[in-house]
Amino acid sequence: MIVTVIFGSDGGATKGVASKISKKCQGRSVDIKAASQADFENCDLLILGSPTYGDGTLQTDWEENIDKLRGARLKGKKVALFGTGDQSAYPTSFVDAMGILFDEVSELGAVVVGFTETAGYDYVGSTAEREGQFVGLALDQDTQSGMTEKRVTAWLSKLL
């Protein structure tokens, strides 16, 4: 299975998670700034990741390069999402960027896989929560970094 992980990251936390995910599934990890249309399309599973900024926006590199995603042919493609956020500092917009990416890929006809349970998190609201589940893997590198390895491993075991 060919897996491509495309991410945006400033502080490095999301880049670290993207690297961890790609290593565990022998995939490749590509920064959104360097991503091409082929990176989005030429894989069996596309994994997209972004931190959430402030009151619930996409990371800057994603915002500046969102047309790369919008121009990709994703109809019927399996896409999984992960988001990093801080549920304590931003409890009303925890991993909202993942919800934004979900809406974008859904609009393109992608088949989103890898929904996860919301249990074990302490937040007030998230646009990444749909029908009682997160639309992908929610990670809090600030207050729950000790859970990351376990959560990534469990998530990938469902995806692969």
Q: Where are the alpha helices (DSSP H) in 6-131?
A: 13-24, 37-41, 60-70, 96-107
Phi-psi region of 51 (alpha: psi -120 to 50; beta: other; left: phi over 0): beta
Mean pLDDT of the chain, nearest integer: 97
pLDDT at 106: 98
Phi-psi region of 131 (alpha: psi -120 to 50; beta: other; left: phi over 0): left
Task: Dump pLDDT digits (tens) for 6-43.
Answer: 999 998 999 999 999 999 999 999 999 999 999 999 99
CATH number at residue 95: 3.40.50.360
Number of domains in the chain: 1
Task: Dump pLDDT digits (tens) for 71-84.
Answer: 999 999 999 999 99
Q: In which band, very low, low, confident or very high, does the pLDDT at 54 lie, cut at 50, 70 and 90?
A: confident
- Quick check: helix, strand or coil at residue 155? helix
pLDDT at 88: 95
Structural domain harbouring 57 = 3-159
Average pLDDT over residues 49-54: 94
Task: Dump pLDDT digits (tens) for 87-133.
Answer: 999 999 999 999 999 999 999 999 999 999 999 999 999 999 999 99
Give the rounded percent of residues in the chain with a pLDDT score beyond 90.
98
Q: Distance between the two ends of the chain, CA-based, in angstroms?
A: 8
Kindly tell me if the per-residue pLDDT of 55 is higher than 90: no
Average pLDDT over residues 129-145: 96
Q: How many residues does the chain have?
A: 160
Gap between the Cα atoms of 156 and 71, Å rounded = 27
